[in-house]
């Protein structure tokens, strides 16, 4: 009997040990499953519209992005919520429309914490076990730009009260970082003093003689050269994309890494960056994930940049917070009819315009019609050769009707465009009685969005820009440089700003 009891006890002990081992196996299995969560890389090219070869853009070569689209998904109706970098990036960093979070004024509220109901999406990823990485060691200027309109630091912890760090580390992703999220800015396409050098170093710079120009832009030689330089930057940027994919392959990470490519806002040229017209709001969006996505798919649904944020959270297996206005694109419940765009403060120019955009329609409401498109804004005076050339041609009455629209002394209060029939937005349908029903519907939708996106506060702390003062000084003190500017030559924004700062320092002594 005693032997039997001992045998029973031994069986119980063995079962307990086996059970503990099984539990440990289960724990290891869960950890292993967690390790299988995808890495995510968000490539954010600056200031580009859908000016890629895979979108049908002539004159430009983008073989790496072509391959990414051929092996992934290309979205044809993706839009940012603001056509200027910092409000657009603010919306993407939180996954919530920038007007709602009161981050809609460019370079404003930089010392104001986010309202406590909101969190940067990198905080959610870190809480879920992701390593968050900012920048890349191999791209121009290392791609570390953040540029959001709330209190933040690049690296460190986040609690939104005393700690405001957004990322864990800079520039490199390794196996030990998995699962990781990396945000990499591709700055070369942003206006900069490097554009001429990039063109000069290109093995096959774009031919200015064979360029196809948009209908609303003049074909003046200086403008054609500027457009060619822009496309040369895109080719350089495409090579950076190829470099990052090569690194993923070499490190054995390509199969389990989602790569997302977008523009942070539209191209920095006539009707582009800064405006609610299509070249300012429509962006390229390509997603690559060979384990999950059907290769070569082209999708036409309307996508907001905030939906990309929500999708990243969804990819990571995190529940999307209610405060996000973005929706996971691959959810069965995904349903977006319009993207709500807004244009507010940009440097010294106060604006108040809203837009509803889709693949079919573009409706724009300008609360300040007296503020023209061509405001002689200092930043654009330095960085848009086409503005100077076309402004002079406008004064000489040498522009076509399509080209004149940007230089009229005021904007219409309302604009309605049929994007299927008029993709360049040259025919405003507001006064056309055939479109009264469409106009009425979009007016009501705009009012609904105004209520839905009402700002959580009215704090307004804009940064005072020195570029307007520098422009005035340059006109007076550097007349030869100003003449070059009027002739369509970029004279070097940073150079002039540095000279102006030296002038200020001397006068203070």
Local structure of 131: helix, strand or coil: strand
Angle (CA) 236-40-357 rounded to 5° is 75
Please tell me the distance from the alpha carbon of residue 465 to that of residue 463, in angstroms, as a whole number: 6
pLDDT value of position 291? 82
User: What is the rounded average pLDDT of the residues 353-378?
Assistant: 97
Is residue 29 pLDDT above 90, yes or no?
A: no
Together in a domain, 104 and 247: yes
Is residue 16 pLDDT above 80, yes or no?
A: no
| Tokens (6 digits) for 177 | 């970082």
Domain residues for 205? Answer: 36-337
Q: Are 124 and 321 in contact (CB under 8 A)?
A: yes
pLDDT value of position 35? 53
pLDDT value of position 292? 87
Please tell me the distance from the alpha carbon of residue 148 to that of residue 296, in angstroms, as a whole number: 33
Please tell me the distance from the alpha carbon of residue 168 to that of residue 247, in angstroms, as a whole number: 20
Residue 460 falls within a domain, yes or no?
A: no
Radius of gyration of the chain (CA): 26
Q: Are 105 and 164 in contact (CB under 8 A)?
A: no
Q: What is the DSSP letter of 327?
A: -
Q: Are 239 and 246 in contact (CB under 8 A)?
A: no
Residue 366 falls within a domain, yes or no?
A: no
Residue 306 falls within a domain, yes or no?
A: yes
Is residue 172 pLDDT above 50, yes or no?
A: yes
Please tell me the distance from the alpha carbon of residue 298 to that of residue 131, in angstroms, as a whole number: 31
Among 18-22, 80-84, 372-376, the minimum mean pLDDT is found in 18-22
User: What is the rounded average pLDDT of the residues 491-507?
Assistant: 94
The pLDDT confidence band at residue 218, using thresholds 50, 70 and 90, is very high
Residue 247 falls within a domain, yes or no?
A: yes
- The last residue of a domain, from among 303, 319, 337: 337
Find the helix or strand (DSSP H, E) in which 2 lies. Answer: helix 2-35
Together in a domain, 473 and 329: no
- Computed over every residue of the chain, the mean pLDDT equals 93
Residue 351 falls within a domain, yes or no?
A: no
3-class SS string, 343-397: ECCECCECCCEEEEECCCEEEEEECCCCCCCCCCCHHHHHHCHHHHHHHHHHHCC
User: What is the rounded average pLDDT of the residues 39-64?
Assistant: 97
Together in a domain, 333 and 475: no
Q: What is the DSSP letter of 433?
A: G
- The last residue of a domain, from among 320, 337, 354: 337
Residue 447 falls within a domain, yes or no?
A: no
Residue 332 falls within a domain, yes or no?
A: yes
- The last residue of a domain, from among 337, 368, 394: 337
Is residue 272 pLDDT above 80, yes or no?
A: yes
Total number of domains constituting the chain: 2
Q: What CATH number has the domain bearing residue 124?
A: 3.40.720.10
User: What is the rounded average pLDDT of the residues 229-233?
Assistant: 98
pLDDT value of position 290? 86
Residue 500 falls within a domain, yes or no?
A: yes
Q: What is the pLDDT of residues 99-117, one digit of tens each?
A: 999 999 999 999 999 999 9
């Amino acid at each position: 009997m005693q032997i039997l009891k001992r045998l029973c006890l031994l069986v119980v002990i063995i079962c307990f040990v086996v059970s503990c081992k099984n539990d440990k196996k289960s724990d290891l299995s869960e950890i292993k499953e967690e390790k299988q969560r995808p890495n995510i890389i968000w490539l954010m090219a600056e200031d580009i519209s859908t000016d890629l070869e895979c979108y049908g853009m002539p004159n430009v070569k983008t073989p790496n992005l072509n391959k990414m689209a051929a092996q992934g998904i290309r979205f044809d109706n993706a839009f940012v919520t603001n056509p200027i970098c910092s409000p657009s990036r603010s919306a993407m960093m939180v996954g919530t429309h920038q007007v709602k979070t009161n981050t809609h004024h460019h370079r404003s509220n930089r010392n104001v914490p986010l309202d406590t109901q909101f969190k940067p999406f990198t905080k959610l990823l870190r809480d879920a076990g992701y390593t968050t990485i900012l920048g890349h060691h191999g791209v121009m200027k290392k791609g570390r730009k953040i540029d959001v309109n709330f209190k933040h630091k690049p690296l460190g912890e986040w609690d939104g009260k005393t700690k405001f760090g957004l990322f864990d580390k800079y520039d490199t992703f390794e196996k030990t970082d998995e699962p990781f999220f990396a945000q990499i800015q591709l700055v070369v396409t942003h206006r900069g003093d490097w554009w001429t050098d990039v063109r000069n170093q290109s093995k096959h710079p774009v031919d200015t003689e064979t360029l196809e120009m948009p209908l609303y832009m003049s074909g003046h030689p200086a403008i054609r050269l500027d457009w060619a330089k822009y496309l040369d930057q895109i080719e350089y940027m495409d090579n950076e994309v190829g470099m990052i994919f090569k690194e993923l392959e070499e490190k054995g990470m390509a199969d389990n890494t989602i790569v997302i490519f977008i523009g942070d806002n539209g191209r920095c040229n006539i009707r582009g960056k800064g405006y609610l017209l299509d070249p300012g709001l429509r962006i390229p969006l390509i997603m690559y994930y060979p384990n999950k996505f059907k290769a070569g798919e082209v999708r036409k649904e309307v996508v907001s940049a905030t939906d990309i944020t929500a999708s990243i959270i969804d990819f990571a297996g995190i529940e999307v917070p209610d405060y996000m206005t973005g929706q996971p694109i691959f959810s069965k419940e995904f349903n977006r009819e319009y993207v709500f765009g807004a244009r507010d403060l940009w440097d010294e120019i106060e604006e108040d315009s809203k837009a509803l955009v889709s693949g079919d329609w573009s409706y724009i409401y300008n609360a300040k019609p007296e503020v023209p498109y061509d405001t002689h804004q200092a930043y654009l005076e330095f960085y848009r050769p086409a503005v100077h050339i076309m402004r002079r041609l406008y004064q000489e009455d040498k522009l076509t009707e399509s080209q004149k629209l940007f230089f009229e002394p005021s904007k219409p209060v309302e604009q309605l465009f049929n994007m299927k029939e008029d993709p360049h937005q040259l025919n405003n349908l507001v006064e056309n009685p055939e479109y009264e029903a469409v106009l009425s519907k979009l007016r009501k939708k705009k009012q609904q969005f105004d209520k839905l996106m009402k700002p959580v506060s009215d704090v307004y702390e804009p940064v005072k820009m020195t570029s307007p003062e520098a422009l005035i000084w340059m006109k007076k003190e550097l007349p030869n440089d100003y003449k070059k500017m009027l002739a369509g030559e970029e004279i070097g924004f940073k150079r002039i700003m540095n000279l102006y700062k030296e002038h200020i320092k001397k006068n203070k002594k």
